[in-house]
Structure 1
């Protein structure tokens, strides 16, 4: 197992990519703290599934945009598992609209969650990683942060910001044995996509771009996160790795 004895935080672990990542890290040997904001029952189900593997797990309610709540999650993780080795910044949101109709609240909330939320958790995990001279940070961005997307100026800006943030933090923490990378998914079959009234249209548009002619599954991303969180990727940092079936090219 790649992550035996390690402890991880996965933000937004109650659904989709976050759930797949939490389970994958546990499968590879890690204890996992997953955060949720609304989906308590789903989060508790993930905890039970991880515990059934023989790992430890906790679920903590958290608005990742809150600096104080992020700090509380980090403290709870250390109290539960004795240490923190891996941080997966995954939780995020979208609130779409064209730029000439977008409200200030739409802009502020998406940037607050998608970008500031990543800073909040990194800020509280980084001192621990520095002290122990070890850490793995994996940030979930998007190919739309690399190319932009119509109707998602706020989302695209936040995901582009994560890319710059990843590279800067990689430079700051590299001397302490900490790697910092980002994964950029294309279209992934998440519960949000499945429940969308526009699912068929979204999939048709994406399939016209996806070279491998299949919509990604959450495990496709989780596998890459687990690799980057492991010592097999100990000489990889500051990278943005697309997991998109060729959708970007």
Structure 2
């Protein structure tokens, strides 16, 4: 009996010891589990912090990407603007070159026109001198033409009245002879429309003080005489008398 009690006591003690050990082990395990749980919580916090940091970095990265894309777009726009400015600059250079060429052409044209103008001025001066000479010659020629017309009129009168009392004596003044003819043959002078202005011209012919013995230099063509006398009625009348058939 006593031995049985001892065995029971030992068994109980052993059981208690075993349970105590188990309890200690459980406590240790629980502590370890709690530590693990604490670590896991810490790791979860770190993971969350890392996730938050990663999300922030991702957002920052996206912002940077967006900023980079915007910068790239801006850079492309600047490149396009620069290309447009370069094209405009080239166009302006081409326009400036064209204007310069046009200006040079205008200068050359102006120089040529100036040279031409000087030549024309020189030619004008030369022609003016020739015109002055021609005007003087025309005036002299017109005087010769008119003198010849008066001579022809005198000859016609002398041929018409070359006999009898109507003929002019060599020593008789021409003006006196004309006055005598007018008095004796007024119808003749009226027929030929030899009025006072035309008679006045007859006093400038051969044998008169106006003629002074200078004969006409030549017998001019009738067309020249027509042109020279067409502007004055008295001369036109006298020329019509010279060229009219005798009545």
* Interval containing the TM-score (normalised by the shorter chain): under 0.3
Provide the TM-score with structure 2 as the length reference.
0.19
Higher Cα Rg: structure 1 or 2? 2
Greater helix share, structure number: 2
Provide the TM-score with structure 1 as the length reference.
0.19
Greater strand share, structure number: 1
